[in-house]
Each structure stands twice: as C-alpha cells, then as structure tokens.
Amino acid sequence: MAETRPVVVELFTSQGCSSCPPADAFLHELSKRDDVIALALHVDYWDYIGWKDSFAKPAFTSRQKAYAKAGGRRSVYTPQLIIGGQDHVVGTHEENAAALIQQHALIDTGVQLQAKRDSAGLITVRAQAQEGVVGPLVVYVVRYAPSEAVEITRGENAGNTITYTNVVTDWSAVGEWDLSAPLMLQATVEGDAPGVVLLQHKGIGPILAAARIR
C-alpha cells in the first residue's frame, strides 16, 4: 500500500528555457521529501528558439493551458509550479512554494486513496470519500523517469548538461469516479518505471489524493 496524503507539485519546464535550471534543481530537492510528489512536465512551446526539448509533449502544454484557463490567466510561462492542482507560483520562488506546500499538507480533502502494483504490472486502486465531497474525480496514472541527464548543444542553455528529476513520460486517465460508492478499479501498466495514482477534480481542478506506485 502507499501513503495517501502527499502534496502533488507539478513543474512546467523546458530544456530550452534559460530561467528553468534553478527550478529544475528545486524540484530535485522537493523530490527527496516523503510528503511531496514532485513531477516535471516538459512543454513544447519553447522548441522554436533553437533546441527541441526531448521530453516535451503537447499534452503537457495543454494541461498547463487548462490550469491557466481554470485560474483565469491568459498566458502560460516557464518555470511554473502548480501545487495541489490548484495554486501556482513561479518555479524559482522557493519560499512561496514551500509555504503553499505546507498549506496544502494541512487540508483534509475527505478522500482516502490506496494503490498497489503486483509483479505482473496490474495496479489496484481503492478509494473512499467522506460525505460532502464533490465529484466526479478523474483517476490518473502517471509514469516518470527518476533522473535523466541531457547535454544541450543549442538554444538558451547551450553548453550545459542538466539533470532532470521525475520527468513525466505518460499521464493517462484510467477511470472516473462519481463518489456514489467506494472506488475499486484496476489498470495494467507496462515496464517497471515508478509512478503515481492521482484523483483530481474533472476539468483540471484540485488534486484530492495521490499515492506512489513502484
């Protein structure tokens, strides 16, 4: 079984962004904490300035834009941290980010989550919600590479070799929970890469629960 109440921190970043390496390093420090699930989502909208990000996916850019729309913001930027699927802060503003993480850690979302993976790659997800919790919630399985070093030869970070932490490789919805009954679902994943299960309000809202799977 896995813990149920870590705070999810998403860093929207790019290999082609000169302002991003300090935020990438900060995410590495956050990844060492048991009470934080730190995830790096690489976006593709800086690829035109001379270096194509090898981890970028259009889906991650779309996710960041959806956060901006939900928050009433007209534009997106890097580096940006999204905390708990709700609050945003510049990725290099470490003190502000730490304060938001602490605030989210104290929130009782009313949702309990357990996730485990067997030797065949079958993930079993169980969850229950207290009365009054509003759904529906989307069940996501996120896979990531713990550490990847990249030698960048062009663009704003040319000449640097940067090590990236918890690089998201796949972000998939595997189900939806209307909260009318306790949740139990299963999903099969390939490979042995680590990952997490997230329960997030449909339509890019707050993340109410998260659990690591290894």
Domain regions of the chain by residue span: 7-213
Q: What is the pLDDT of residue 116?
A: 94
**Residue-wise burial string across 25-52, b where 16 or more C-beta atoms lie within 10 A, e elsewhere:** bbbbebbeeeebbbbbbbbbbbeeeebe
Q: What is the pLDDT of residue 1?
A: 38
Query: What percent of the chain shows pLDDT beyond 70?
Result: 98
Q: Which pLDDT band, with edges at 50, 70 and 90, does 105 fall under?
A: very high
Q: Which pLDDT band, with edges at 50, 70 and 90, does 192 fall under?
A: confident
Distances (CA, A) of 125 to 41, 67, 140: 24, 25, 10
Q: Kindly tell me if the per-residue pLDDT of 56 is higher than 90.
A: yes
Q: Kindly tell me if the per-residue pLDDT of 182 is higher than 90.
A: yes
Judge if pTM exceeds 0.85: yes
Q: Which pLDDT band, with edges at 50, 70 and 90, does 119 fall under?
A: confident
Using CA atoms, how far apart are residues 74 and 56, in angstroms rounded to an integer? Answer: 21
The residue whose two tokens read 């991650």 is: 60
Q: What is the pLDDT of residue 24?
A: 98
Q: What is the pLDDT of residue 15?
A: 98
Using CA atoms, how far apart are residues 102 and 81, in angstroms rounded to an integer? Answer: 14
